[in-house]
Amino acid sequence: MQYTIYSAPGFKVYARVEGGRVAVRTGGLLAPLLSPLVSGYARLLAGTPVKVTDTHLYISTWLPPIPGAAFDRLVKNQVRSFFRDCRPDQVTISITEECPNRCVHCALPDTKHRKRLPPQEIKSVIDQSVELGASLVIFDGGEPMVYEGIEELVAYASRRAAATLFTSGYGLSREKAAGLRDAGLHAVNVSFDSPIEEEHDRIRGRQGVFREAVDAVKNAVAEELLVDIYVVAAPFNIDRLDEFYSLACDLHADELSFYEIVPTGRWSAHPSEVLDCGQREKLCDFRGKDTEKDNGVRVFSIPAAMKVTGCFAGRKWLHVTPGGDVLPCACIPVPYGNVYTEPLAKIWEKIRKSGMYNARSCLMRDEGFRQSMLPASDDRQKD
């Protein structure tokens, strides 16, 4: 079956599933001229889809289904970006600071109070995000599974966008997974720091977290949710990529995603303990041992995607903290406003007018950026 990704007079972009893999094709009189503009994105979309139905193509847990209003909005944003009109494709909302874990690399600042956003404020953020152009609304924490009424929030977001949820696995029982599915959850991202139980629990600061994560994946798969295993790649786990892939296959996950650790939050005390150039290239090049030959788990490397898209912060990504502060991304603790006092569109305008968020690579890897921007934000982030 063929799915239309983009259609305009003289130029069209299609996606087809051929041999169990997504292939992106262009057509129209202007195709020879315009195809090079989308070639990088075509490579990102290609590969094993996470799900195919009679009516929809689900390329990734990070993308809305095709066709659909949310995906159309995503494409419109990409067209706008060619004219320097950037809109946030994804908005992460840290709905609560509450969490049973104490991860060594948590991006949230350590504060005296466990803040949480009230439901009505979260719904307002969702509405404003979609109006800005967001196609993906991500519920984050802390641990969002401790938030009472998370199903209602997912149901609200899923009416207009693809709604996903980041969790350590805590509390994701089969009953809870069924409730989230019925609420319209697009996908669940379950985070792993190691494929080895003892290592994972140590990094998460609590025994039993690994088993909770494994059970969460199994419960979500059993209830037919799309499942992504999400890994923050760091020097302590970069040599376990194949093991992560095997774990994802064994648990029947749909996707395996990699981010890279950056010196923010608790990890800001370890600015030198990040991936070196060789390790980063290893991560960008990783595709999984069996992906090409048996259409296995889809692998998505965010650093590799950034080679095509540039840094997402303040261009394609917006983050809201449990206290309502609005950041360019979850890793940059520089607030540009607060949702309690300003419209999200006005805050986004300030971020864009700053002229700082057009980087080709992660800004938090830039020591100069950290030194010039972060000291001014520290006092504002702490209670």
Q: Answer for the pair 89, 316: CB distance below 8 angstroms, yes or no.
A: yes
Concatenate the DSSP letters of all residues of 186-238 into one string.
Answer: -EEEEEES-SSHHHHHHHHTSTTHHHHHHHHHHHHHHTT-EEEEEEEE-TTTG
| pTM, rounded to two decimals | 0.92
CB 306: neighbour CB atoms within 10 A?
18
Residue-averaged pLDDT of the chain: 91
Percent of all residues in the chain with a pLDDT value above 90, rounded to a whole number? 78
What does the CA dihedral 313, 114, 135, 258 come to, rounded to 10 degrees? Answer: 60
Question: So what's the pLDDT on residue 237?
Answer: 97
**Which of the residue ranges 49-58, 105-114, 176-185 has the most confident prediction, judged by mean pLDDT?**
176-185
pLDDT by residue (tens digit) across 100-155? 999 999 988 666 667 899 999 999 999 999 999 999 999 999 999 999 999 999 99
Question: So what's the pLDDT on residue 381?
Answer: 39
| The total number of residues written for the chain in this structure | 383
For the record, the structure tokens of 76 come out as: 């419109």
Confidence tier at 271 by pLDDT (50, 70, 90) = confident
Q: Which of 66-80, 286-300, 305-319 has the lowest mean pLDDT?
A: 286-300
Percent of all residues in the chain with a pLDDT value above 70, rounded to a whole number? 95
Question: So what's the pLDDT on residue 109?
Answer: 67
Q: In the β-sheet with 255-260, what is the strand arrangement from edge to edge?
A: 298-301, 255-260, 226-233, 187-192, 162-167, 136-140, 90-94, 317-320, 326-327
The stretch 303-318 carries a mean pLDDT of: 92
For residue 48, CA distances in Å to 23, 68, 105, 226, 300 come to 9, 20, 30, 14, 10
Nearest-angstrom CA–CA distance, 57 and 76: 18
Q: Which of 126-130, 257-261, 292-296 has the lowest mean pLDDT?
A: 292-296
Concatenate the DSSP letters of all residues of 284-304 into one string.
Answer: HH---SSHHHH--SEEEEHHH
Q: Answer for the pair 172, 216: CB distance below 8 angstroms, yes or no.
A: yes
CB 119: neighbour CB atoms within 10 A?
16
Position 380 pLDDT exceeds 60: no
Confidence tier at 191 by pLDDT (50, 70, 90) = very high
Question: So what's the pLDDT on residue 253?
Answer: 97
Q: Which of 319, 304, 322, 323 is nearest to 361 (CA)?
A: 304
Nearest-angstrom CA–CA distance, 332 and 377: 9
Nearest-angstrom CA–CA distance, 320 and 343: 12
Q: What end-to-end distance do the CA atoms of the chain give, in Å?
A: 54
The stretch 92-99 carries a mean pLDDT of: 96
Position 46 pLDDT exceeds 50: yes
The reply to whether omega before 141 is within 30° of 0 (cis) is no
Concatenate the DSSP letters of all residues of 303-347 into one string.
Answer: HHHHHHH---BTTTEEEE-TT-BEESSTT------BTTTS-HHHH
Question: So what's the pLDDT on residue 372?
Answer: 84
Task: Specify the DSSP element, H or E, that contains 20.
Answer: none
For the record, the structure tokens of 196 come out as: 């080895």
Question: So what's the pLDDT on residue 111?
Answer: 63
| Ramachandran area for residue 277 (φ above 0: left; ψ -120 to 50: alpha; else beta) | alpha
For the record, the structure tokens of 326 come out as: 């609005």
pLDDT by residue (tens digit) across 322-364? 999 999 999 999 999 999 999 999 999 999 999 999 988 889 9
